[in-house]
Amino acid sequence: MKYCLLEPVFTPQNPTRSPMLFLHGFPDSPEMWSAYVQAAKEGAEWGNGRSLYTLAFPNRQTRPAPVPSWRELRRGVLAEEVAEAIAQLATESPTGKIIAVGHDLGATHLWQYVRQRGGQVPFEKLVALSVGSSFRYDMWEHGLNAFTWLYQIPYILPYTLRLPALQKLLAYLLVNVAGYRSERSADVWRDTYHYWDGWLWPLRLPFYLLGAAYQPTFLNFDFPVLYMRSKIDRIATTRAFETAVKTRPECRYALLDGVNHWFPEQNPQLVLAELATFLCD
């Protein structure tokens, strides 16, 4: 892989169960999973006999270079490398399958991988944090909250224009409004390359708000799913998906109160409690 880094972070003496792959989101790094790795090292039952891996996208904290060009991002180079990592781990897995865990953009890539293959993927289980199986941008689904999708504009502005004032503004908004926490929040703009198409949103949104880009919610998956989100994450899911997860006996759903979008890192105990039940079922 040219841009992503697949790294083993915990290997038991005798791996007998499906390995776990953790994918971080924006603007994080694999370090966000440290509490989960530590729990496995301390003997959490869900980690017994499992190898744990993280996949790092280019990020300012642990892998600042190389960063793909916008042309490569449009081609889907990161999605290709996610698929490559999954194929490698599934091939090496003692069960032929993996358990995938993703937050934010990590979950987005996992669901894209599933959709592109019509649900036929080597997943024993999937843990999706914040992001549902597909997106909708229209007011029929989200009401006035659909305008939230314009957030991609202030994300891509400081990356493209490289103006210090815009870079400081983005850091201020993420920390003081959204609740993001990081010792390196000042240069969070470096990770917004993911939103390369943000410039197109002023043109797209009028059509999206009216449902011009409507796609049926993707529900064609037959593996168990644990879906957890904060209240603010409603924009990243759909009613149909959440209804499916709530009603399928093999799936679990958790709506968390009093947390922000970055709950997997800031409140790992909440996720670990659900993870323990989900993986031990």
Cβ(263)–Cβ(254) below 8 Å: no
Four-residue CA torsion sign, 12, 13, 17, 23: positive
> Which amino acid is it at 216?
P
Quick one: pLDDT band at residue 169, thresholds 50, 70, 90? very high
Helix 77-92 and helix 105-116, axial crossing angle in degrees, nearest 10? 80
| % of the chain exceeding 70 in pLDDT | 99
- Which residue has tokens 């314009």? 150
Two tokens, residue 135: 């997106």
Alpha-carbon distance 270 to 228, whole Å?
A: 10
Contact between 1 and 81 (Cβ < 8 Å): yes
Structure tokens at 41: 């090292």
Give the gyration radius of the chain's Cα atoms: 18
Inform me whether the pLDDT recorded for 210 exceeds 90.
Answer: no
Q: What is the pLDDT of residue 205?
A: 83
User: Among 154-163, 208-217, 253-262, which is the least confidently predicted range?
Assistant: 208-217
The chain-wide mean pLDDT, for the chain, equals 95
DSSP state of 15: -
10 Å CB burial of residue 123 (0-12, 13-18, 19+) is: buried
For residue 117, the one-letter residue type is R
Is 5 in contact with 82 (CB distance < 8 Å)?
Answer: no
DSSP state at residue 179: -
| Residue 50: band (very low, low, confident or very high) from pLDDT cuts 50, 70, 90 | very high
Which residues are within 8 A (CB) of 247 and not within 5 positions of it... i.e. 6 or more apart? none
Could you tell me the two tokens for 5?
Answer: 């880094």
Cβ–Cβ < 8 Å for 202, 157: no
Q: What percent of the chain has pLDDT over 90?
A: 86
Q: For the chain, what is the total number of helices (H) and then of strands (E)?
A: 11, 7
